[in-house]
Structure 1
Amino acid sequence: MLPQTSCSGYVDTHATQIMGVFQEGRRNGYLLRKGRKCSTKSALVLLPTIIIVFIIIVLSTSQLFTEDAALTETDTELRAQNQDMLDIQARRKAYIQAVCRKQTNNNIIANPSPEHVWRIYVEDNYGLLYCEVPKVACSNWKRTLIRLSGNISMKPEDMEHKFVHDKTQLPTLDTYSQSEIEWRLKNYFKFIFVREPFERFVSAFRDKFQHPHKYYHSVFGRWIIKAYRKNPSKKELNTNNITFPEFARFVIQNPLGPDTHWQQMNRICNPCQIQYDFIGHYETINEEANWLLRYVNIPTEVNFPKFKDIHSAESVTNEVLKKHYFSQLSSSVKAMLYKFYEVDFEMFNYRNTIPL
């Protein structure tokens, strides 16, 4: 006989299996719910950190964009400034060319003689040629060039006036051979700085005759007093007290071979014969000089000096002082002085503000 199987035993066995599966499912569900709770708790714990990191990323990105925008804006400003200066230079050169076309001897010379370049100073390290016009911050330009030469370790402000004007510090172009002169004129950067002619004239008088100056009194002062005073006393001849009207009459009546401190600027630097790459104006010299230094790739630590090295307690000759001195002159003398400097006024585009 076959063994009997209890139906209840069969059901119990399967019920046990089903309950096991059900309990396992409950355990898994519990674990799942527990895991979800843990994940939620972890997320809540990490959320502030995530927010902080997000903010840092956003701020950093924003800062980068801001810096890039600032750099772009700065570059744009620099390009605009460069273009403005280049436009100014183009206009100044055009004025010179227009005046030169009126001159009889207006050709650019292929073989300049020493007499054309004797006031041009040479700086070989950076390839610069500077035409010195007295009374147009020439001392500070010499300080700058001496520093660039590398022969002197002194700072410009430590260079005394006498030292700066020592002829051994910087060579002039006329001391080179003809071939070397021509090569430098062709390959070096040539520049000059000019000044309103009447202000420069007053500045020369104040510097050389209103202060004790042995050389200028002995060479010019005594002669001027003898020429323009009736029966001057011995005391007058030995005193450097010539007047501005006497000085003005002397200059206009002795136009040939004047001292370079009041000689016409166009006769000093010969811009009709030598094409200068840069024509600077004294009235805006700080901005223009430093622009020029950057343009020719001079290191940024080298800037144009601002100080006045002699008679520093006195104010710089300006429009007010110029009018004060010219008020002492007769109309005829003022007209003759304008004629003396007329080419400078026109060539460098200065408008005369003195009624003639």
Structure 2
Amino acid sequence: MAPPQPRPVKLGGKQNGKMEEDREQTRRKEMVEEYCKNKSSSNKLSRRRPMDNFFVSDKYKVLYCKIGKTGSTTTSALLYNLEYGTNYSQQEYWKHTATVPMKRLTSYTKDEQMLRLNTYKKLVVSRNPLERLVSDYLFFFGGKEHFVSNGRQVRDNMKYQDMMETIGWNVSSEKLPYTEDYDFFKRNNETYHLVPFLAFIRAVTHDTDRWHDNKHWALVSDFCPLCQVQFDFIAHTETLATDLNTFFRNVAGVKGQENIFPRARERQGKKKILDIYRQIPLKEIQRIEKKYKADFDLFGYSAEETILQLLQLLSKDIV
């Protein structure tokens, strides 16, 4: 049976809202506990404790395990503003963190690390892997619909040209057809093709480390040791604004400062996600489910539910 989908927290009055938030956190923690109990003998996390992904707020005694494309910029900017008493936008945050960065747990001595792990409030943010991979692809590659030729998309399409091999093309020895399925751009008199979503999905789900040098499409569970560190709060990108308010106010004890907290807003990306997944065979979604099974199980997401939604969308088109 597929695990339940994350549910947005319904705030129906302060007391009822608090009860709903507590129940939701209990549910999320129980899923992690159950997963770790069942996987304790084989879980590769037991062989390492990656600490470089933990960012530290000594002011509020918080450890945040940061993984890309899970609302990490929103969360990091909020933590930064709280720590340094600033009110930077996300763009300003990136500028200032280059010169005054947040501290990482690895910047402390071993004893200081253990003290913080044992006493600070620990936060991790997860995201539906299917949604996260779409966000990765659009951000780094763009595809024919969203390629804006910025430095990042140009660089990564050039860097990962060999992902095209997963769909049967060796770009080092063959030319791809200049069709709408294989759009291209030129740099320094060289032709480069936009990596299609299908090639990206096959590459990141391939059983090799060849294309796994980017943490943004790594499993959250590979870099946040959920079975070794007891997290005090598990946030979801899908309910991030509510979750961050709950964690920092009710768990970390932040008072006031309403102007720097993110506001909840309606998410518009569901149809875009389904439109992108309908471009590839359903078996590719099953590859994602297998590769990202740990994240699906730990955080209560369901690949089957997304497949069902995709089938419903396709059936509407057929009718």
* TM-score category (smaller protein): 0.7 to 0.9
Q: How many Å apart are 1:289 and its aligned residue?
A: 1.2
- 1:224 match: 163
Change in 2 beyond 3 A, CA 1:197/1:84: same
Which residue of 276, 285, 305 corresponds with 2:262? 305
Alignment of 1:130-209 (within 5 A): 130-150=64-84, 153=86, 155-157=87-89, 159-160=91-92, 162-163=94-95, 166=98, 168-209=100-141
CA shift digits 1:281-337 (9 cap, x unpaired):
1111111211222112212124423499xxxxxx96722112111112223322111
Deviation of 1:83 (Å): 2.6
Amino acid at match of 1:343: A
Q: Deviations over 1:24-82 (max 9, x none)?
A: xxxxxxxxxxxxxxxxxxxxxxxxxxxxxxxxxxxxxxxxxxxxxxxxxxxx9433322
Q: Which of 312, 318, 330 lines up with 2:281 in the alignment?
A: 330
State yes or no: 1:242 paired with 2:176: no
> Does the alignment pair 1:294 with 2:237?
no
User: How many residue pairs end up in the alignment?
Assistant: 269
Q: Give distance in 2, aligned partners of 1:89 and 1:80.
A: 14
Equivalent pair of 1:194/1:348 in contact (CA under 8 Å): yes
Whether contact under 8 Å (2:45, 2:225) holds in the other structure is: no
How far apart are the structure 2 equivalents of 1:85 and 1:316? 20
Q: Which has the larger radius of gyration?
A: 1
- How far apart in 1 are the matches of 2:88 and 2:264? 10
Higher helix share: 1
Question: TM-score scaled by structure 2?
Answer: 0.74
Q: Aligned partners of 2:264, 2:137: CA distance in 1, in Å?
A: 20
What SS does structure 1 have at the residue aligned with 2:235? strand
Q: Which runs of 4+ in 1 moved over 4 A?
A: 105-109, 233-238
Higher relative contact order, chain-length normalized (CA < 8 Å, sep 6+): 2
Corresponding residue for residue 34 of structure 2: 98
Distance between the aligned counterparts of 1:95 and 1:199, measured in 2? 20
Alignment pair present for 1:78 and 2:35: no
Change in CA separation of 1:196 and 1:226 when aligned onto 2, cut-off 3 Å: closer
Q: Any unmatched runs of 5+ in structure 1? A: 1-75, 309-314
Contact 1:199 1:317 in 2 (8 A): no
Contact 1:132 1:192 in 2 (8 A): yes
Provide the TM-score with structure 1 as the length reference.
0.67
Residues 320 and 124 of structure 1, relative CA distance in 2, 3 Å threshold: same
Contact 1:121 1:129 in 2 (8 A): yes
SS of the counterpart of 1:117?
coil
SS in structure 2 opposite 1:354?
Answer: helix
Q: Distance in 2 between matches of 1:158 and 1:193?
A: 18
CA distance in 2, matches of 1:196, 1:158: 23
Alignment match of 2:63 (pick from 123, 126, 129):
129
* 2:269 corresponds to: 318
Counterparts of 2:291 and 2:45 in 1: how far apart (Å)? 24
Judged with a 3 Å threshold, the aligned counterparts in structure 2 of structure 1 residues 235 and 291 are, in CA distance, closer, same or farther, namely closer
Task: Find out whether 1:253 has 2:206 as its counterpart.
Answer: yes
Unaligned runs of 5+ in 2: 1-11, 177-183, 309-319
CA contact (8 A) 1:326 1:354 kept: no
Alpha-carbon contact 1:204-1:262 (below 8 Å) kept: yes
Question: RMSD in angstroms over aligned alpha carbons?
Answer: 3.0
| Other-structure match for 2:181 | none
- % identical equivalent positions: 22
Offset at residue 223 of structure 1 (A): 2.6
On the 8 A contact 1:121/1:131 being kept in 2, the answer is yes
Q: What residue in structure 2 maps to residue 274 of structure 1? A: 229
Match of 1:354 in 2: 306
